[in-house]
Amino acid sequence: MPARRRLPNTVEIKQDFQRFLSARIADDGLSQREAADHFGMPRSYISRVQNGRTKGVSFESLFRMMTLVGFDISISVSEVNRKGVVAFINS
C-alpha cells in the first residue's frame, strides 16, 4: 500500500497567493489605499493580504485580485488511484 500523501494546508496555499500579490503590489509601487482602489476592496482587506493573515480572505478574492494584476489562474485536477498512478481528468 502506498504511503499516504500529506494534503496541502489551505492556509499555506493562501499565503503563497498572498506573497505573489504583495510582491506585485510592491513592484507596482502601490500603497494599500491605491491597491484597495484598484481591486475595489477595503484597505483593511489589502492589509490582511499583505500581512499574510488568511482569516476572512477567500480564494475567490485572491484569484480575482491576481487576474487584475496580470496573472493567469489555471487549476489542474488529477486523481491518484490505489496503485499510486496519476490519472488526469480532462473535460
Tens of pLDDT, residue by residue over 69-87, are: 888 888 877 766 666 555 5
In this prediction, residue 90 carries a pLDDT of 56
Residues of the chain whose pLDDT is less than 50?
Answer: 91
Please give the model's pTM, rounded to 2 decimal places.
0.72
In this prediction, residue 63 carries a pLDDT of 93
2-26 exposure pattern, b = at least 16 Cβ within 10 A, e = fewer: eeeeeeeeeeeebbebbeebbebbe
Torsion of CA 29, 31, 35, 36, to 10 degrees: 180
Q: Does domain 10-88 have CATH number 1.10.260.40?
A: yes
In this prediction, residue 13 carries a pLDDT of 87
For residue 32, give the DSSP letter. H
